[in-house]
Amino acid sequence: MTDYKMKAVEGTYHFDGEAATKGFHFNKMCYSFNSEENRQAFRDDAEAYMTKYKLTEEQKQAVRDHDINRMLELGGSIYYMAKFAGIFGWNMQVIGGMQSGRSTEEFIAYLESQGRGKTTNG
């Protein structure tokens, strides 16, 4: 059999066929948030919206808990989750902090510690 298994990378969820299968309905819901009408429907009644999109109970709980890593574990793709995050006004630094156990400020400081000072212009 072809060896296509990806090696594990710590702290990273490879979004592969298995994850895409598990997360299909959850991601479909998040994809629907491209439309303001759908974002509003979720704001109005999140439980009904999640049921309509056939989320599993575990996925619903991760959404209620705002647990981003758990959503990833349950097959979420960050591309669509970004649209979910948009409903709450969370940008990528807020999400980054939520996933890596840091406050937003700590997360920004972590980013800056690896980059600024290595700027090159020319």
Partner 1 sequence: MAKIIGGITTSHIPAIGVAMDKGLEETDYFKDLFAIYPPIRDWLTEEKPDIAVLFYNDHGLEMWLDKKPTFAIGAAPEYENADEGWGIKPIPPVTGETELSWHIVNHLIENDFDPTVCQDIKVDHGATVPLTLLWPNFTYQGIKVIPVSINCERHPMPKPSRSYAFGKAIGEAIRCWNKDQKVVVLGTGGLSHQLDGQRAGILNADFDNWCMDKMVTDPEAITQYSNVDLIEKGGAQMVEIAMWLAMRGCIEGPVEERLRNYVSPISNTAVGVQLLIPENEQG
Residues at the contact surface with partner 1, assessed by CB under 8 A: 4, 6-7, 9-17, 20, 24, 27-28, 30-31, 33-36, 39, 68-69, 72, 77-83, 85-87, 91-93, 95-96, 99-101, 107, 110-112, 114-116, 118-122
The Cα–Cα gap between 110 and 116 comes to: 11
Is residue 68 within 8 A of residue 95, CB to CB? The reply is yes
The distance of closest approach from Cβ of residue 73 to partner 1 in the complex, given in angstroms and rounded to an integer, is: 9
The distance of closest approach from Cβ of residue 65 to partner 1 in the complex, given in angstroms and rounded to an integer, is: 16
Is residue 55 within 8 A of residue 31, CB to CB? The reply is no
Q: Crossing angle for the helix pair 104-115 and 92-100, nearest 10 degrees?
A: 100
The distance of closest approach from Cβ of residue 63 to partner 1 in the complex, given in angstroms and rounded to an integer, is: 15
